[in-house]
């Protein structure tokens, strides 16, 4: 494949945000499941999630030191790495996916830093991925990455936390591309028995300073919690619940799980 | 007692001075933490600047280290090893501090600061257990809750320190994730802090992590470098020719280097061969900082392997990366075999059982001695070896009295 063909395969810059805005404009609440790339059966899980009504898919590229992840995603990452998953192998497999919805990658900054910002962004785009989330690269350190991603045509998604001060929040939301990832609680990824009070608070704070889609993630563990979060937020990211299902019941069960969230959000 | 003078003084131009406002030492350092923790790092930096500029805080820090920690620690001239090696070997006796290592300096500083900030709980990571014991000690002294994360591998090889921490009233969690050593304990402590940041201070044990930790921890350890510089001057009339310390994250090395960085002494930080972050020289980003990092060809962090749990760390403090990059300090490595020999040598020649960590420094001195004949060599003996005797009984095959 020559360079022109490779570029033609790439989604246009802003594809994720354009898609999410259009979906939001129809009145839909946005649903983005996370699947750990490289874990056994992960591609079928992604396809099942998309078929069950996901608006976009977040693909985890496993990293040795996933400091923002709780036990479930840690376990899946460790298993995928033990099976030989690498950033290149996960992206190669991601390229084969045809889901009809945009794909974002979630991984940790050292994998991007090691490869170089532009090369990392290009590798994602070549795999049909249009956005990236790097949870250990906060806004205050993200400047060079945001520039490189924009220049390459990749949407760099930033995270806003309950502890993000007001004076930084508007700039952060303004600099994020694709959507704003509102971290729902003080803590790492994982399901909780109840939705944290902070989940709706941070979503509301973000929505007050941006018209970009705001999705709440971290700590959403049931369809009813997703509905509760979406009373304020534009949508939700569900990670540990999906990965737990993949690990215990296999990829087809992921489709059923995502369908239960879709139904709840559409009729909640 | 030497005053801890190198605080955030405006215009200070030391080689080991204040980092830039974005926490950089040259190209290294920074604040690469989840967004949730950025505000906590900023709050900590502001609190540290304010406290360190307050003579009452500095006085409380120094008084506690004197009356409770046993400072100043002595400087010992090792006459037997000196004559064996052909160098004049001086040893800074951080092993004689309360809790048995230099770690007490930093934890007293951070615990007092945490208390001043209104935090009621400390979390810490530990490798060999020295920092965990020191943190548990400070928590007991100041009436704070404390939880220490320790890799499962280290829990097994440092059972005595696990007991000490529990005896002191701290909870110890055995970390089962990843390589189950120090780096994974750091991850788990960070995960705890992400969830508990409102009432908890992360008492990080080395000159690593996000800004302001590398600078703040080094500043709390300045006291040992300042003491050593004054003691060397009293004894020899000037600076030593060479200053040597072991390097895992690099806090004891940073402390002693800071007393000599603006002079002419050669600075040597000794890494374990299985954890030579600087030696392999590839920049990376983990645990909040840009620094040299042992990683594979795609950027996954590698597992360090050393006989010494305290040096089992694949990264290094960013200021050491900077000192290496500008050529001010050098970072050779030694093998486990050399370390075992040095451990025995110091015990028999001087009647001092060194921590395995410090035995790395001595191992390098033994190897390099032929090229340093007649020179004065200052080594930081950062901890005592009591914690290692159980492990070394196996390594040396010296159980009972017949072997």
> What pLDDT sits at residue B144?
98
* Residue at token pair 């989940």: A199
Percentage of chain B modeled with pLDDT above 70: 96
Q: Which of residues 233-292 of B touch A (CB under 8 A)?
A: 283-287, 290
Least-confidence region, from A20-34, B154-168, B348-362: B154-168
pLDDT category at B2 given cuts 50, 70, 90 is very low
Return the CATH fold of B75-100+222-396.
Rossmann fold (3.40.50)
Predicted pLDDT at B157? 80
For residues B395 and B382, give the distance between their C-alpha atoms in angstroms, rounded to a whole number: 22
Q: Are A136 and B31 an interchain contact pair (Cβ–Cβ within 8 Å)? A: no
DSSP state of B331: -
Chain A neighbors of B178, CB-CB under 8 A: 64-65, 78
Q: In the prediction, which pLDDT does B181 show?
A: 86
Chain A environment of B33 (Cβ under 8 Å): 136, 138
Kindly tell me the burial class for residue A107, based on how many C-beta atoms sit within 10 Å of its own C-beta (0-12, 13-18, 19 or more): buried
pLDDT band at residue B13 using 50, 70 and 90 as cut-offs? low
A1 against A102, higher pLDDT: A102
Tell me the average pLDDT across A48-62: 98
pLDDT of amino acid B7: 45
Of all helices (H) and strands (E), which one includes residue B223? helix B213-236
Question: Taking CB atoms and an 8 Å limit, are B285 and A109 in contact across chains?
Answer: yes
CB of A53 within 8 A of CB of A259? yes
Say if the Cβ atoms of B35 and A64 lie within 8 Å: no
Look up residue B118 and give its two tokens.
Answer: 């209104």
Q: Is A86 on the interface with B (CB under 8 A)?
A: yes
Domain that holds residue A205: 3-267
* Best of A73, A75, A114, A218 to mutate (most B CBs within 10 Å, chain B): A114
**Which sign does the torsion angle of CA A133, A138, A143, A144 carry?**
negative
Query: Taking CB atoms and an 8 Å cutoff, what residues of chain B touch A161?
Result: 34-36, 38-39
Name the helix (H) or strand (E) containing B205: none
Residue B78 falls in the annotated catalytic set? yes
Q: What pLDDT score does A13 carry?
A: 87
Give the 3-state secondary structure of residue B60: helix
How many Cβ atoms sit within 10 Å of the Cβ of residue B277?
31
Query: A2 — phi, psi (to 5°)?
Result: -85, 175
Cα distances (angstroms) measured from residue B375 to each of A4, B83, B221, B378 = 65, 12, 26, 10
Angstrom distance (rounded) from CA A62 to CA A94: 13
Stretch among A129-133, B20-24, B150-154, B289-293 having the lowest mean pLDDT: B150-154
B171-225 confidence digits (pLDDT tens): 999 999 888 889 999 999 999 999 999 999 999 999 999 999 999 999 999 999 9
Give CATH 3.40.50.1100 domain extents, chain B: 24-67+103-213, 75-100+222-396
Picking from A63, A74, A187, the nearest residue to B300 by CB comes out as A63
Distance (Å) of CA B4 to CA A133, B53, B72, B224, B381: 42, 11, 12, 9, 20
Q: What is the CATH number of the domain that holds A11?
A: 3.20.20.70
Could you tell me if A37 and A93 are in contact, meaning their C-beta atoms sit under 8 angstroms apart?
yes
Number of domains in chain A: 1
Please tell me if residue A161 touches chain B, with a CB cutoff of 8 Å.
yes
Active-site residue (options: A47, A55, A58, A155): A58
CA A74 to chain B, closest CA, distance in angstroms equals 8
Exposure of A151 by Cβ count < 10 A (0-12 exposed, 13-18 middle, 19+ buried)? exposed
State the pLDDT confidence band at A139, using cuts at 50, 70 and 90: very high
Residue of A nearest to B293 (CA): A110
Q: Parallel, antiparallel, or unpaired for β B266-272 and A180-183?
A: unpaired
A268 pLDDT band, cuts 50/70/90, is: low
Would the pLDDT of A38 be above 50? yes
What span, in angstroms and rounded, lies between the C-alpha atoms of B102 and B96? Answer: 9
B390 has pLDDT over 90: no
Asked whether the predicted pLDDT for residue B159 surpasses 90, the reply is no
Q: Residues of chain A with pLDDT > 70: what percent?
A: 96
The per-residue pLDDT of chain A, averaged, comes to: 95
Residue B126: strand, helix, or coil: strand
Question: Cβ–Cβ of A137/B32 closer than 8 Å?
Answer: yes
Confidence grade of residue A3 (pLDDT, cut at 50, 70, 90) = very low
What would the DSSP string read from start to end of B264-313?
S-EEEEEEEGGG-HHHHT-EEEETEEEEEB-B-TTSPBPPP--S-GGG--
Looking at residue B94, the DSSP 8-state letter turns out to be: G
Global model pTM greater than 0.90: yes
* The domain over range B24-67+103-213 is classified in CATH as 3.50.50.60: no
CB-closest option in B31, B35, B195 to A188? B195
A256 is catalytic: no
Across the interface, whether the CB atoms of B195 and A187 are under 8 A apart is answered yes
- How do residues B234-275 score in pLDDT, each as one tens digit? 999 999 999 999 999 999 999 999 999 999 999 999 999 998
Arithmetic mean of pLDDT over chain B: 94
> Residue B97: pLDDT band by 50, 70, 90 thresholds?
very high
**Alpha-carbon span B260 to B241, nearest angstrom:** 10
One DSSP character per residue, A50-109 reads HHTT-SSEEEE---S--TT--HHHHHHHHHHHHTT--HHHHHHHHHT---SS-EEEE--H
Q: In Å, how far is B300's CA from the nearest CA of chain A? A: 5
A115 vs B contacts (CB less than 8 Å) = 298-299
């Amino acid at each position: 494949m020559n360079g022109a063909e490779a570029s033609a395969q790439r989604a246009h810059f802003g594809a994720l945000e354009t898609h999410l805005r259009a979906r939001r404009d129809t009145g839909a609440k946005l649903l983005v499941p996370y699947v750990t790339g490289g874990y056994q059966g992960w591609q079928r899980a992604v396809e099942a999630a998309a078929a069950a009504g996901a608006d976009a898919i977040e693909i985890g590229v496993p990293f040795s030191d996933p400091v923002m992840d709780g036990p479930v995603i840690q376990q899946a990452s460790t298993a995928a790495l033990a099976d030989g998953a690498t950033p290149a192998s996960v992206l190669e497999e991601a390229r084969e996916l045809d889901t009809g919805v945009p794909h974002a990658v979630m991984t940790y900054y050292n994998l991007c830093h090691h490869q170089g910002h532009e090369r990392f962004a290009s590798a994602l785009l070549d795999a049909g991925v249009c956005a990236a989330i790097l949870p250990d690269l906060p806004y205050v350190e993200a400047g060079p990455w945001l520039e490189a991603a924009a220049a390459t045509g990749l949407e760099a998604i930033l995270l806003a936390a309950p502890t993000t001060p007001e004076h930084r929040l508007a700039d952060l939301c303004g600099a994020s591309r694709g959507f704003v990832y509102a971290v729902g609680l003080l803590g790492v990824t994982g399901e909780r028995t109840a939705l944290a009070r902070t989940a709706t608070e941070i979503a509301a704070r973000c929505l007050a300073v941006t018209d970009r889609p705001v999705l709440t993630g971290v700590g959403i563990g049931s369809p009813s919690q997703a509905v509760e979060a979406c009373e304020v937020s534009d949508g939700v990211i569900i990670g540990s619940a999906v990965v737990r299902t993949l690990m215990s019941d296999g990829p087809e069960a992921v489709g059923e799980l995502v369908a239960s969230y879709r139904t709840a959000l559409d009729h909640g | 007692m030497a005053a801890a003078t190198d605080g955030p003084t405006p215009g200070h131009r030391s080689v080991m001075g204040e980092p830039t406002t974005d926490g950089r030492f040259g190209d290294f350092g920074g604040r690469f933490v989840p967004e949730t923790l950025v505000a906590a790092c900023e709050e900590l930096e502001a609190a540290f600047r304010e406290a360190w500029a307050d003579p009452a805080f500095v006085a409380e820090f120094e008084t506690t280290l004197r009356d409770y920690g046993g400072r100043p620690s002595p400087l010992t001239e090792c006459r037997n090893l000196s004559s064996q090696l052909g160098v004049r070997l001086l040893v800074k006796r951080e092993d004689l501090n309360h809790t048995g290592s230099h770690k007490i300096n930093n934890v007293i500083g951070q615990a007092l600061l945490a208390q001043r900030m209104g935090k009621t709980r400390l979390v810490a990571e530990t490798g060999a257990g020295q920092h965990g014991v020191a943190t548990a000690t400070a928590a007991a002294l100041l009436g704070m809750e404390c939880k220490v994360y320790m890799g499962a591998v280290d829990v097994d090889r440092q059972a005595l320190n696990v007991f000490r921490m529990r005896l002191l009233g701290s909870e110890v969690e055995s970390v089962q994730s990843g390589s189950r050593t120090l780096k994974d304990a750091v991850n788990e402590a960070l995960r705890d802090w992400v969830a508990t940041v409102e009432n908890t201070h992360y008492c990080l044990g080395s000159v690593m992590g996000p800004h302001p930790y590398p600078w703040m921890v080094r500043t709390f350890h300045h006291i040992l470098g300042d003491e050593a510089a004054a003691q060397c001057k009293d004894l020899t009339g000037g600076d030593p020719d060479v200053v040597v310390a072991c390097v895992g994250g690099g806090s004891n090395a940073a402390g002693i280097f800071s007393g000599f960085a603006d002079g002419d002494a050669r600075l040597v930080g000794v890494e374990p061969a299985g954890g030579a972050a600087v030696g392999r020289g590839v920049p990376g980003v983990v645990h909040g900082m840009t620094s040299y990092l042992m990683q594979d060809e795609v950027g996954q962090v590698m597992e360090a392997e050393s006989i010494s749990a305290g040096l089992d760390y694949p990264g290094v403090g960013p200021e050491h990366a900077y000192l290496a990059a500008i050529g001010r300090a050098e970072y050779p490595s030694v093998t486990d075999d050399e370390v075992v020999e040095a451990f025995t040598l110091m015990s028999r020649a001087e009647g001092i059982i060194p921590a395995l960590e410090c035995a790395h420094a001595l191992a390098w001195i033994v190897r390099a001695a032929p090229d340093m004949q007649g020179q004065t060599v200052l080594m930081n003996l950062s901890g005592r070896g009591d914690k290692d005797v159980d492990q070394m009984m196996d390594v040396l095959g010296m159980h009972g009295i017949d072997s």
